[in-house]
Structure 1
Amino acid sequence: MKLDTDKVYEGFRLIEKKEINEINSTGMLFEHEKSGAKLFYLKNEDDNKVFSISFRTPPKDSTGLPHILEHSVLCGSRKFPLKEPFVELVKGSMNTFLNAFTFPDKTMYPVASRNNKDFLNLMNVYLDAVFYPNIYKYPEIMMQEGWHYELENKDSEISYKGVVYNEMKGAFSSPESILFRKISEYLFPDTQYGKESGGDPDFIPNLTQEQFLDFHKKYYHPSNSYIYLYGDIDIIEKLKFLNEEYLKDFTRQNVDSELLYQKPFDKTRENTIKYPISSNEKEEDKTFLSMNFSVGKATDPEIYLAFDILEHLLLETPSSPLKKALIDAKIGKDVFGTFEGGILQPMFSIIVKNSNENEKEKFINIVKETLCKLVKDGIDKKLIEASINIKEFQLREADYQGYPKGLIYSMKAMDSWLYDENPWIHLAYEDTLKKIKSSLSSRYFEDIIEKYILKNNHSSILIVKPAKGLEEEKEASIRKKLNEYKESLSDKEIENLINNTNALKKRQVTPDTPEDLQKIPLLSIKDLDSHAKKVSLMEKEENGVKILYHPEFTNGIAYVNMYFSTEGIKEEMIPYISILSTVIGKVSTENYHYEDLAKEINIYTGGIRYAVETYSEKGDSEKFYPKFVVKSKVLVNNISKLLTLIGEILAHTKYDDYKRIKEIIQETKSRLEMVIFEKGHVVSASHLFSYFSPIGKYDDMVSGLAFYKFIVDLEKNFDEKAKEISYNLHEVAKNIFNKNNLIVNVTTDEKDYESFSKQFCLVYNELGENRTAKVEYNFEFSPKNEGLMTSGKVQYVAKAYNFIKLGYSYTGGLLVLKTIANYDYLWNKVRVQGGAYGSFAAFYKNGNMFFTSYRDPNLKETLDTYDGAGAFFKNFNADDRQMTKYIIGTISDLDFPLTPSMKGERAAEYYIKHINYEDIQKEREEVLNVTIDDIRGFGDLISSAMEKNYLCVMGNEEKIKQNELLFNDLIDLFE
């Protein structure tokens, strides 16, 4: 149906239409006449449909009100009055995305699904949640999701509890997170960006129930909403649904959600703040230095894209001049930048990590001198071309692994729409890109540097430095404050607090009624495809090398992955495989200096990456296949250049540039520290596998805590070990990169495969021909049960074992068990009742299984919860509707849509693991046919695994020491 501008459709007036060729879509901008709701529809043929409703929500303080409200509106509503509709949807819908986001100035509620019936169901639940939440009926919702005083009896200590409170305590544990949050606060002190929309734990307990409800009343109105639809949908049907079910009941209002501009500074401002480290950590080389700039407006598409490219150019590649100057000056061990374009006044930052406060002036001078030199002498045009090309490749590929395209486009749309500009100005990028490409023959980027950095007084210097005892002081201060508060209360007030705590706990443990559960819309099993999707795979051979070919429409891109076996590497050399993956491509080769190599890669390809991967033999707890993987992508007409570059890198890399290798090792250590803080739940669980599992031990040595300790030692003793490191890298590379170790995985259009096959010799001829014998590893295992102590404010609590070692076997029913564990048992016990931000279970085909928690205020209580899981499942009960829900939610995970590159990688993984289509179909049938008795039967599996008592906890030093009897070893994680 053709829609005409200035016509009204189901209460919506079509204001403007635009063809957005860059994303093969037609953009349509509507306004709902009665309510004032704005709607943007991106029409295209994508079957992965996306809906989002967003609100402009400028915070007035740092209590985290927008964030707490984002959590809370999803805790029951008018039509769907159960306690956790969000969780019911996760358990029982075919969603391809379901979440909500709090940004510094907006709150978004996006969903996605490929099933139209399911898509409407998701829209319905989310719309009812935001417009008619149960927060007005139940104050316990804000208590649970935000914060509350916890007091169980008059003699117990009073404490703060709440999901967001603990989430943000975790967020404020990482020095990088503190840095990024404070940059905005100090650069825009008089605006919404000077407040912490997520919530600062120091201020969250200032939030009152009245403020909480008033915020919702004010901002969650259709007149302040931004509704987004994307994909191959019946737009008239969706407009009719929006109008009749929700928007017709609202009258347009003037909602004052104005976003404030920060008045420019007349001179650079400087601030110094502290972050906590544990008692045994050293303070030297742990300071962050940053220079930060307010750069233009988000509604300027040129600055929005140009600064994204400039940040890459200056700070993200081995040839980046500013990064190189700062590293060469040895004022820090890691250098990176950030550009935040998704706020009204975008900001650009230059950051040096692992430095010292006394390096501040040197840091400032080097930045200014380097940028002045670039402005005066001009930037290398090949460097500019490389950065533009890599960003253009990313824009055109639109491969957002793990996120639907439509969701990414919605976020880009909000980066202008929220600020009263058309929502497509960052999506229709061709004209902007054309202007930026003029930089190849002009002073475009030099002028930007001069105007927005060198001559920009709206800037700040922020120093974030370590301090011992800071966390202990804060905790003592909180305890004192809480004790004084309790002492100030009357008996009646204490009784009220106890009653409130009990009311919350009662609500948390009281199950929803069957009637309320029935109100959540649900697909039926017959709505599901009983057949597993086949991933195309053709086995070919080129020059005697196995080629796994996947014919897929890729829009002219070839994805070429090379899998080299590392089974011939001796045990003591295993960590060097990972060092090799971080060094290779970043050091010089015989024919390229590393800076020139980086430019060549970015000019002619979409990127070349290196990773160490391990693949378990299906159903086997012992056997696995370790690989060194070279991942690359390229436009087909440049495939010869790609293969030539890979051949050069694999066969002719020079490992004797000690200075450069030391820089890479320092940077790798720094980036690992960031991952450890951000993904503590994964780090703890993965390390725990090393206690009992061969693949777990190997993974720990190449990417886990054992590898982190290895690289800490290399960095600390580099000067004495430089020659040894160089020799080992050369020997490992010589062992790995040979023709007899190789499988190649190619994903591209059928017509383009010949381009690869004809030119494969360009890399093949460069490879060695050594035949190396497989090494049999004799790993030592023991229940180390480590307490990994940090200065963090929360815990990551893991318990695990291998169920195949206990005599059990893998079945698809374990995937349903995972769904139930994640969104019933662990969600209720660890998150809702325990106050952790999250808790997760996993059961793998190799028998490894774990329970782990994320940003958890507890420790022993969570381990007790894991120990109780077996009994819970032995007595598990559910009606047919509930079982259908669990099955649908599990199938949703199995059917997650894959991009062409992901399909190719999935097929290669199956090939290496010897998983065939019959195995995948059998697993699917086991999911579809799982019974209550099957789930109960898994109770013994869990109990047996938990009784082995293998555990690992990363968390607060004091908390771990309080529970030291649980551990065999207490370890300071950071030096």
Structure 2
Amino acid sequence: MLSVQSRRIFNRCSVRKLSTAVESKYLKKYPIGSEISGYKIERLEQVPEFNLVAVGLEHQKTGSKHLHIDRQDNNNVFSIIFKTNTPNNTGLPHILEHTTLCGSEKYPVRDPFFKMLNRSLSNFMNAMTGHDYTFYPFSTTNVKDFNNLMDIYLDATLHPLLTSEDFYQEGWRLENESTKDKNSPLTFKGVVYNEMKGQVSDSSYYFWIKFQEAIYPSLNNSGGDPSKITDLSHSDLIEFHSSRYHPSNSRTFTYGNIPLKEHLEKLDKAFIPFGKRPTKNVLKQPIDYTENVDTIVKGPVDPMLPLDEQYKTSLTWKAGVPTDIYETFLVKMASSLLMDGHSSPLYQELIESGYGNDFSVNSGSDSITAVNLFTIGLNGLTKEKAENLQEKVYEILRNVKNDGFPDIKVQALIHQMELSKKVENSSFGMNILSSLVPNWVSNVDPMDSLKWDDIITRFKTEYAKKGDALFKEVLDKYIIDKPYFKYTMEPNENFANEVKEEEETRLKKKIETLSEEDKQTVYDRGLKLLEKQEEQENLSCLPTVHVSDIAREVPFLRINNKYDNGIPIQSRLSPKTNGLSYFKGLKTIKSSELTEDLIPYLPLFSSCLTNLGTTSKSMADLENEIKLYTGGLSANFFTHASAHDPNEVYLKFGIGGVSLNSDFKKMLSLWEQLLLDTNFDNIAKLSTLIKSCTADNLSDIVSSGHSYARSAAISKISNVGKVQELLGGIENIKFMNEIAKFESNGTLKENVIPQLKKIQEILLNSSGLQYNITTSKDAIKEQESEILKFSDRVNFKQPFSKNSYDLGKINTENLKNEFVKIPSHVGFSSAALNTASYSSKDSASLQILSQLLSFRYLHSEIREKGGAYGGGASLDALNGVFSFYSYRDPKPFNSLNVYDKSVLNNSINIKNEKITEEDLEQAKLTIFQRIEAPKSVRDDGMSLFNYDIDDELKQERRYELLDATLEDVLEVSDKYFKDDTIKSRVVIGHDTEDIKDSSDWVINELS
């Protein structure tokens, strides 16, 4: 992945200086000034550090710009991008993004985008709305699939149907609560409407979007403010598409190994009918402040945190313009040196000191359209601290200017950037696209943004001459004693009720304007939309790849396993490591060693290893070493079932990291220090860590509520799910809230630290680690030798062994439904049941069933009719659990009923032949999207190392997936989904009024 820093380059020459042979090769392939299929080549850049050549072109008839990245990568990428400044806060570009994908002239079917998800082998398909742009990207390794999707995307964006029904479904509508009951109350519905209700329930998003609206009002809220979305009309949508979605206002992007000419022929054919239109790429400006500005707004509260410590405040300065790429790079470097990590001065003085509990979401350097903004903000403030933040910050910055920036921090940051470019990433093309688009639409030349080595070379030269004066100049030029924009969000206990009341008032006003004839029109419109959603469509116009395009067999990875002095080492040699070594150590934990009551402490323990420091080194010093010699260290606990028995549970502890081959020994030395000598008695650092871990729990739930609901549902019926819930679900959030109480009352030493030390003792006195190393042939011998020395030094008291974690039989009798109450304007739901093991033939058919249920029933019922942002079914194949979920759902309780009906509906449709062989094939294609997706070199062999799933077992499952029939799917449906099989149900949300019988429910309120 391209780091933020590696995207900023300064050189603007037409042809970069190449070696004579390379220059000749690419100039011959892409002659500057020549024309290819209606496009003229304007610029050519070789970027050897990323093994790519960038070609910049312009379409002669429309003026559309095209960027092609020629790279030997078969994961090809395409995107079309439009500049879409929004005139208001109605979410116009966001709703247009949704509706363009609901049918086009060439593909006049309902929602071809979602239909293509099941007819493709793409590993990425999406559409996204930014501040002032909208782009439509996809990636796939299949050439036929690429051509299909490119045709779909071009027709969808340039020739969408934009029907009123699609606007009402995806945007917003007034409709009877029960569509078929004319006498039921009228309410607001719509996918984007409910999506954005969910967004503004996330306190981090709400702070960020209101900050943007305050400092950059000219950009407006492109996603849409729910209170304004209901002002948008269908005619507004049509007009906006007509004015913005024109080739002259577009940019296109291709990446990979498909010849450029093939792309340009398709684009030229699509663009020729339009001609050229004058465009004004107006760069919107933020507010103009020559004096300090102080803005205060009210926002939501987190019931899990003290009310008087929920002020959020930030200070923002203008720091140059994005078109000055080198200056932007320096600003981002200064931001990182000031704020990132334990050794940074702002972290030490603002977070570690206890002034606040975390940096605010808008902190750091951000290039937005016409300006760079540099922001320092904090969460978890009292009112007094919020009011005095500017004095505190300026005091710190003046001290930094006087004391300077330590050279080791600068060198460590450079090392991180240089190492990051060596990491082979399976989504490299998509990452390049995402990094370029925001500035490309704001007139920053993407060719300049790619040239990483130029900027680093220039920086190293200037740093050698001037030292940290480079960063002091940034402070003087933009920040110290310069006007700032202060933005504060103060907690409002009544916020959720006020939002609800505003919606009710707005709805009432809408209804009051309706005559009886209007109400009849609303009712008829709802029935018409429902009829359209339920009609059986002819999808023959949509292109597709086929299961026959998928290889029945794939080559096995060459993985070496050996025992050396009883120490197991798995190794994988790869030419793609680019001089890096990827390391992982793993051990299984027995229940007789680590009791169940310690499991909730495990995530905190693993965080302590990389946050507390050791008894001999501060975390600041250790972090400098970690950044100087590695690409990062990580530790975690995870759990999984045996591939052959879902009731056989494994609890595992893993450590990992990546380094240059030459720094591998140093990386292991760092891990030795962390494992043996972490200072758990460092109460100050532990307090900071606990505050950070609990600062954004509510925001995490609101943004990923379906995952939390699913985890809670699975935990009631599965031992693996039970452990997963304790490690990272709502139960862990509740546990950490209790830990936070010990922090606040000063009793960590008595109530927490002994448990952390006990876990350390258990890990060191039990069985040793098994190891995985992925590296190059010339480095493997030395790295294996270093691993053996490391294992000897850590001195685990027992040899490595694999042991399951025995939790006994889980009781699933008399389970009650669970409702988790949070302040959110939409809900989330899930239901779960146990099924078959990974190795069972049933498992493959169950996975196909999950896809059939998702796209043949649940998508229509939950998203199209129900208005939720998403919903579906999934199989956790390794752990043998089948689950349903809904996301940002206005009717989560109704979705529980939908789950119950879905399997019966599916079985009936198979028997009645309404589900066809074509549906079966599409379900298989959806599954193979993930299986066939390219993997990074660091992931090779990890299914064997982490989960004991070898290539033979994966190949057997491949056969079962490819060969499964509708009869097999019907058989597992009847076998596992009997009456009252779905015993575990969970809803997360705000309203309990839909609970009909409270005796069937357990209600938990997070506070």
1:328-727, aligned counterparts within 5 Å? 328-335=352-359, 337-341=363-367, 343-397=369-423, 399=425, 404-437=427-460, 438-439=462-463, 441-457=467-483, 459-513=484-538, 517-552=539-574, 553-567=576-590, 568-718=593-743, 719-727=746-754
Q: Deviation per CA, 1:555-592: give whole Å up to 9, x if none.
A: 11111011122322111111222211111121121332
User: 1:198 and 1:481, CA in 2 relative to 1: closer, same or farther beyond 3 A?
Assistant: closer
1:8-407, aligned counterparts within 5 Å? 8-135=35-162, 138-151=163-176, 152=179, 154-189=182-217, 191-192=218-219, 195-244=220-269, 246-262=270-286, 264-277=288-301, 283-335=307-359, 337-341=363-367, 343-397=369-423, 399=425, 404-407=427-430
User: 1:159 and 1:430, CA in 2 relative to 1: closer, same or farther beyond 3 A?
Assistant: same
Q: Say if 2:970 is the partner of 1:950.
A: no
Q: CA deviation at 1:762?
A: 4.6
Q: CA deviation at 1:379?
A: 1.4
Q: CA deviation at 1:373?
A: 0.8
| Letter aligned with residue 658 of structure 1 | I
Q: Conserved in 2, the CA contact under 8 Å of 1:681 and 1:852?
A: yes
Q: CA deviation at 1:255?
A: 2.6
Q: Which residue of 2 aligns with 1:860?
A: 893
Q: Deviation per CA, 1:614-643: give whole Å up to 9, x if none.
A: 122013221122111112000111111111
Rounded Cα–Cα distance in structure 1 between residues aligned with 2:309 and 2:150: 50
Percent identity, please: 25
**372-381 or 123-132, larger mean C-alpha shift:** 372-381
Q: Which residue of 2 aligns with 1:844?
A: 876
Q: Say if 2:823 is the partner of 1:797.
A: no
Q: Tell me the secondary structure at the aligned position of residue 144 of structure 2.
A: helix
Q: Deviation per CA, 1:666-703: give whole Å up to 9, x if none.
A: 11112444322211110110122211211111111122
Q: Conserved in 2, the CA contact under 8 Å of 1:609 and 1:630?
A: yes
Rounded Cα–Cα distance in structure 2 between residues aligned with 1:3 and 1:602: 40
Give 1:899's match in structure 2, choosing from 921, 925, 936.
Answer: 936
Q: Say if 2:971 is the partner of 1:971.
A: no
Q: Say if 2:917 is the partner of 1:880.
A: yes
**798-807 or 920-929, larger mean C-alpha shift:** 798-807
**307-316 or 58-67, larger mean C-alpha shift:** 307-316
User: 1:774 and 1:417, CA in 2 relative to 1: closer, same or farther beyond 3 A?
Assistant: closer
Q: CA deviation at 1:129?
A: 0.2
Q: Deviation per CA, 1:21-46: give whole Å up to 9, x if none.
A: 23211111111111222111011101
Q: Tell me the secondary structure at the aligned position of residue 701 of structure 1.
A: helix
Q: Which residue of 2 aligns with 1:921?
A: 955
Q: Conserved in 1, the CA contact under 8 Å of 2:422 and 2:580?
A: no
User: 1:807 and 1:424, CA in 2 relative to 1: closer, same or farther beyond 3 A?
Assistant: closer
Give 1:787's match in structure 2, choosing from 819, 827, 830.
Answer: 819
User: 1:899 and 1:360, CA in 2 relative to 1: closer, same or farther beyond 3 A?
Assistant: same
Q: Conserved in 1, the CA contact under 8 Å of 2:719 and 2:810?
A: no
**293-302 or 122-131, larger mean C-alpha shift:** 293-302
User: 1:533 and 1:921, CA in 2 relative to 1: closer, same or farther beyond 3 A?
Assistant: same
Rounded Cα–Cα distance in structure 2 between residues aligned with 1:757 and 1:359: 52
User: 1:260 and 1:73, CA in 2 relative to 1: closer, same or farther beyond 3 A?
Assistant: same
Q: Say if 2:777 is the partner of 1:777.
A: no
Q: CA deviation at 1:278?
A: 7.6
Q: Tell me the secondary structure at the aligned position of residue 383 of structure 1.
A: helix
Q: Conserved in 1, the CA contact under 8 Å of 2:648 and 2:804?
A: no
Query: Aligned pair count?
Result: 957
Q: CA deviation at 1:963?
A: 5.2
**419-428 or 860-869, larger mean C-alpha shift:** 419-428
| Letter aligned with residue 783 of structure 2 | F
User: 1:428 and 1:549, CA in 2 relative to 1: closer, same or farther beyond 3 A?
Assistant: same
Q: Deviation per CA, 1:527-563: give whole Å up to 9, x if none.
A: 2111145233210234431111111221111110111
Q: Tell me the secondary structure at the aligned position of residue 366 of structure 1.
A: helix
Q: Conserved in 1, the CA contact under 8 Å of 2:672 and 2:790?
A: yes
Q: Deviation per CA, 1:418-464: give whole Å up to 9, x if none.
A: 1223212221121212333444623112221232222442x322222
Q: Conserved in 1, the CA contact under 8 Å of 2:322 and 2:328?
A: yes
Q: CA deviation at 1:950?
A: 0.9
Q: Tell me the secondary structure at the aligned position of residue 82 of structure 2.
A: strand
Q: Conserved in 2, the CA contact under 8 Å of 1:78 and 1:133?
A: yes
Give 1:937's match in structure 2, choosing from 958, 961, 971.
Answer: 971
Q: Which residue of 1 aligns with 2:781?
A: 754
User: 1:762 and 1:305, CA in 2 relative to 1: closer, same or farther beyond 3 A?
Assistant: farther
Q: Which residue of 2 aligns with 1:832?
A: 864
User: 1:14 and 1:659, CA in 2 relative to 1: closer, same or farther beyond 3 A?
Assistant: same
TM-score (norm 1): 0.94
Rounded Cα–Cα distance in structure 2 between residues aligned with 1:107 and 1:38: 15
Q: CA deviation at 1:282?
A: 5.1
Q: CA deviation at 1:406?
A: 0.7
Q: Conserved in 2, the CA contact under 8 Å of 1:800 and 1:945?
A: no
Q: CA deviation at 1:775?
A: 6.2
Q: Tell me the secondary structure at the aligned position of residue 375 of structure 1.
A: helix
| Letter aligned with residue 829 of structure 1 | E
Rounded Cα–Cα distance in structure 1 between residues aligned with 2:93 and 2:969: 39
| Letter aligned with residue 55 of structure 2 | M
Rounded Cα–Cα distance in structure 1 between residues aligned with 2:206 and 2:573: 46
Rounded Cα–Cα distance in structure 2 between residues aligned with 1:411 and 1:755: 38
Q: Tell me the secondary structure at the aligned position of residue 155 of structure 1.
A: coil
**219-228 or 617-626, larger mean C-alpha shift:** 617-626
Rounded Cα–Cα distance in structure 1 between residues aligned with 2:931 and 2:336: 35
- Flag structure 2 segments of 5+ consecutive residues without an equivalent: 1-27
Q: CA deviation at 1:215?
A: 0.6
> Aligned-pair RMSD on alpha carbons?
2.3
Q: Deviation per CA, 1:441-496: give whole Å up to 9, x if none.
A: 23112221232222442x32222232223222322332233234323321211111
Rounded Cα–Cα distance in structure 2 between residues aligned with 1:865 and 1:664: 42
Q: Tell me the secondary structure at the aligned position of residue 623 of structure 1.
A: strand
Q: Tell me the secondary structure at the aligned position of residue 855 of structure 1.
A: strand
Q: Tell me the secondary structure at the aligned position of residue 141 of structure 1.
A: helix
User: 1:83 and 1:300, CA in 2 relative to 1: closer, same or farther beyond 3 A?
Assistant: same
| Letter aligned with residue 926 of structure 1 | E
Q: Deviation per CA, 1:217-269: give whole Å up to 9, x if none.
A: 0010000111001010121122112212x111110001334222235311222
Rounded Cα–Cα distance in structure 1 between residues aligned with 2:76 and 2:836: 40
Q: Deviation per CA, 1:497-530: give whole Å up to 9, x if none.
A: 11222221111111212xxx11111123322111
User: 1:354 and 1:421, CA in 2 relative to 1: closer, same or farther beyond 3 A?
Assistant: closer
| Letter aligned with residue 792 of structure 2 | N
Q: Deviation per CA, 1:244-299: give whole Å up to 9, x if none.
A: 2x111110001334222235311222222222348897523222222223322222
Q: Deviation per CA, 1:158-199: give whole Å up to 9, x if none.
A: 11111011111101001111111122212222x21xx11011
Rounded Cα–Cα distance in structure 2 between residues aligned with 1:577 and 1:780: 22
Rounded Cα–Cα distance in structure 1 between residues aligned with 2:550 and 2:837: 34
